[in-house]
């Protein structure tokens, strides 16, 4: 059977998932990829029953995947049936208060990142800065210094050419270094391989409500060192989140209230996007049901959804069994609890098919009804597997250890995880997020820009007779339809985008899904640029009161390179000011032949993107040398002011001088043309990690979107968290 795939899906699969030979040539079709995954995962059945119908299971799994009714996390699609065989997306590792523990965990982190996984840590057990070190009579450097070590190690592994490593760093709100932790990413100049979250306790939230102080506890001694204002610390969190989107917060006591295996210890950390609380050495086994494929004749098809849930639970339990874990400790803990996280994608597209606005009470009811059904059926499916295959080994003493649930295969069954890339493959909306845009420009890999319109909107507009080319152009300019009078109001109500929706509805939808989810919910609460700090504070408190287990917010434009400055009249202006040259950069130098001699062009970048270009010519001087220096200085100034490299290349490339030259079969027209050619080549190939913190996709140059607690690109499928 040949699958009919869109160009976008085909490009993403070819770029990221299909097998390639040593020459980088694709040697697998999408059908063969899905068959490879289905066959490999189905093979686990034979481990439990030699007479199991593995061929039938393979066919069921193949239809499940190729029909885009369900997709597992990216590592499973990439690695099932291949040499690496590491199928989990993320892990949590312990960090104790000793050099031995810290650097042992650092080694394990590098091994996990090398295998393609992400890692979460709590740094709360590390003694505070300036505390005593008994063994040396010295003083401690504190958790932030060790976070920096982990960040640098992650960067080093990334430079080795593997998939990007992602980290979550968590610190309890009662740690003495909490104020420094809150502010550590406010300027985007450090810890850029980390998402950070503050673990808020119930005691802290109660003190906040009363307007009281609360205690900071020395993690080494367990003793209180001082009391500080809960309101001031909370305001500090809000201010940093308003400026940069970080830190997020997790409600750690609520998470532990739902810990299914409390005898094994407390949960202290989550995976990099915050939706999967895990014990030390546990891993994520995640997958998502495509709700947009669960609608039939204007209603949710619960029979189809039930079949899909049971098959997906079977699939994910098999993944635990066949996964090649990077560490023996991780295999033992993961197989001991057998946690799976079945979630959803396409929720917004489902609502559109049901003609239900995202920001409505009816949408909240649908969220609760669908997720309650998935929760119940996933538990039923896990119980059936438990009866056939045995309960998870740590069942004794778990929350299921009672006569009502004598069988349970998996300690957890549900998680709402990010679906950035897999939802693009399935051509549906991300997770439980609203639609990204009704129409938007998409940068494809050959440098062309295509404009995509939401297929359900296109179909509706055609059927109702209000579609036109001018309407298409108008929607593309903003991505939203809310201000376009030519579109009927009921249609505008249904096709709302993430920035059209009031904040309270983002929180209500998140809380509705959290109500019926074992683990947590990955979602970004989107704010307009004009949002006040008080608005963000209200959202955090509302999320806590609504039963959410964590909050991630993003104020539109807060991470853009364009800096708002205070003008002489005391008002904010949008004058572009170049950011300072970083103290440390990375880069490459290329020699290129020109008519005047060999030109040596150096292009440097930091975590915010390409930031510097300078060029020198061997023996020239005078006017030529000064012009080359001027071109480099102005190019560097433009880059640090947020101008995209492509825009600079477009201005410089093709400038001619009287003495053109040739290099590698290509004409070099002048020194500025040479600089442009080098900048283009290096930007296209070598600087794939540059710019993500500035909101620019490092692979296609499109703008990144803040969704599901992560940075994702709707053009090419890039995700910073994978």
The Cα angle at residue 402 between residues 550 and 259, in degrees rounded to 5: 15
CB neighbours of 351 closer than 8 A, spacing ≥ 6?
A: 357, 358, 363, 366, 494
Contact 593, 579 (CB under 8 A): no
Tokens 């160009």 belong to residue: 7
Would you call 81 helix, strand, or coil by DSSP?
coil
CB atoms under 10 Å from CB of 501, counted, come to: 18
| Whole-number Å distance between alpha carbons of 98 and 85 | 33
By C-alpha distance, which of 322, 351, 378 is closest to 454? 351
By C-alpha distance, which of 483, 479, 502, 489 is closest to 358? 502
271 included as an active-site residue:
yes
Would you call 154 helix, strand, or coil by DSSP?
helix
Would you call 153 helix, strand, or coil by DSSP?
helix
Q: Which two tokens stand for residue 464?
A: 């109702």
Catalytic residue among 73, 271, 323, 394: 271
- The phi-psi region of residue 85 (left if phi > 0; otherwise alpha if psi is between -120 and 50; otherwise beta) is left
Catalytic residue among 58, 246, 268, 275: 275
* Beta partners for residue 236, in sequence order: none
- The phi-psi region of residue 716 (left if phi > 0; otherwise alpha if psi is between -120 and 50; otherwise beta) is alpha
- For the stretch 643-657, what's the b/e string if a residue is b when 16 or more beta carbons lie within 10 angstroms of its beta carbon? bbbeebbeebbeeeb
Would you call 329 helix, strand, or coil by DSSP?
helix
273 included as an active-site residue:
yes
Catalytic residue among 90, 273, 611, 713: 273
Burial class (CB in 10 A: 0-12, 13-18, 19+), 2: exposed
| Whole-number Å distance between alpha carbons of 303 and 380 | 14
246 included as an active-site residue:
no
Contact 429, 415 (CB under 8 A): no
Measure CA of the first residue to CA of the last residue in the chain; give whole Å.
30
Q: Which two tokens stand for residue 206?
A: 């109660």
Catalytic site positions: 271, 273, 275
């Amino acid at each position: 059977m040949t699958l009919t795939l869109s160009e976008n899906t085909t490009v993403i699969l070819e770029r990221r998932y299909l097998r390639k030979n040593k020459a980088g040539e694709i040697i697998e079709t999408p059908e063969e990829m899905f068959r490879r995954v289905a066959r490999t995962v189905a093979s686990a059945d034979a481990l439990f029953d030699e007479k199991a119908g593995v061929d039938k299971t393979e066919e069921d799994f193949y239809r499940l995947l190729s029909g885009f009714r369900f997709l597992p996390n990216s590592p499973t699609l990439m690695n099932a049936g291949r040499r690496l065989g590491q199928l989990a997306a993320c892990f949590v590792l312990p960090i104790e208060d000793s050099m031995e523990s810290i650097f042992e965990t650092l080694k394990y982190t590098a091994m996990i990142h090398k295998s393609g996984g992400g890692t979460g840590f709590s740094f709360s057990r590390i003694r505070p800065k300036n505390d005593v070190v008994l063994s040396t009579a010295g003083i401690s450097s504190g958790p932030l210094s060790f976070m920096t070590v982990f960040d640098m190690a992650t960067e080093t592994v990334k430079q080795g050419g593997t998939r990007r490593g992602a980290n979550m760093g968590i610190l309890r709100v009662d740690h003495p270094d909490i104020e420094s932790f809150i502010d550590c990413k406010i300027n985007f100049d450090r810890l850029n391989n980390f998402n950070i979250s503050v673990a808020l306790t119930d005691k802290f939230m109660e003190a906040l409500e009363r307007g009281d102080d609360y205690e900071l506890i020395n993690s080494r001694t367990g003793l209180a060192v001082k009391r500080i204002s809960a309101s001031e610390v909370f305001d500090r969190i809000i201010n940093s989140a308003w400026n940069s989107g970080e830190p997020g917060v997790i409600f750690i006591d609520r998470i532990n209230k739902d810990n299914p295996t409390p005898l094994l210890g407390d949960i202290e950390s989550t995976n990099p996007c915050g939706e999967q609380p895990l014990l030390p050495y546990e891993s994520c086994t995640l997958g998502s049901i495509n709700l947009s494929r669960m609608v039939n004749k204007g209603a949710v098809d619960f029979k189809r959804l039930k079949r899909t849930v049971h098959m997906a639970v079977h699939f994910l339990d098999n993944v635990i069994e066949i996964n090649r874990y990077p560490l023996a400790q991780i295999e033992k803990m993961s197989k001991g609890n057998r946690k799976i996280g079945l979630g959803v994608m396409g929720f917004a597209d489902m609502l559109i098919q049901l003609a239900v606005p995202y920001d409505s009470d009816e949408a909240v009811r649908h969220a609760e009804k669908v997720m309650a059904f998935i929760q119940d059926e996933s538990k039923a499916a896990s119980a059936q597997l438990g009866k056939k295959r045995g309960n998870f080994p740590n069942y004794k003493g778990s929350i299921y250890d009672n006569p009502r649930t004598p069988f349970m295969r998996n300690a957890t069954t549900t998680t709402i995880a990010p679906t950035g890339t897999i939802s693009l493959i399935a051509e549906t909306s991300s997770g439980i997020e609203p639609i990204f845009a009704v129409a938007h420009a998409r940068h494809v890999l050959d440098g062309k820009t295509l404009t995509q319109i939401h297929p359900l909107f296109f179909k509706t507009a055609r059927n109702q007779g209000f579609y036109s080319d001018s309407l298409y152009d108008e929607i593309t300019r903003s991505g939203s339809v809310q201000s376009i009078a030519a579109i009927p109001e009921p249609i505008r109500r249904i096709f709302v985008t993430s920035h059209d929706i009031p904040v309270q509805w983002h929180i209500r939808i998140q809380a509705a899904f959290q109500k019926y989810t074992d683990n947590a919910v990955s979602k970004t609460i989107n704010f307009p640029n004009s949002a006040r700090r008080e608005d963000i504070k209200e959202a955090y408190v509302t999320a806590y009161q609504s039963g959410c287990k964590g909050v991630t917010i993003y104020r539109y434009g807060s991470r853009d390179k364009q800096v708002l400055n205070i003008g002489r009249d005391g008002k904010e202006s949008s004058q572009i000011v170049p950011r300072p040259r970083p103290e440390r950069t990375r880069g490459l130098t290329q020699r290129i032949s020109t008519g005047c001699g060999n030109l040596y062009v150096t292009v440097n970048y930091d975590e915010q993107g390409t930031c510097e270009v300078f060029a020198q010519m061997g023996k020239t001087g005078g006017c030529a040398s000064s012009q080359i220096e001027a071109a480099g200085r102005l190019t560097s100034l433009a880059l640090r002011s947020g101008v995209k490299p492509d825009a600079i290349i477009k201005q410089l490339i093709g400038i001619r001088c009287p003495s053109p030259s040739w290099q590698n079969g290509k004409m070099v027209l002048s020194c500025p043309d040479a600089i442009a050619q080098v900048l283009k080549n290096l930007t296209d190939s070598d600087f794939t990690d540059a710019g993500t913190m500035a909101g620019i996709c490092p692979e296609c140059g499109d703008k990144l979107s803040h969704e599901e607690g992560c940075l994702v690109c709707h053009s090419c499928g890039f995700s910073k968290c994978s």
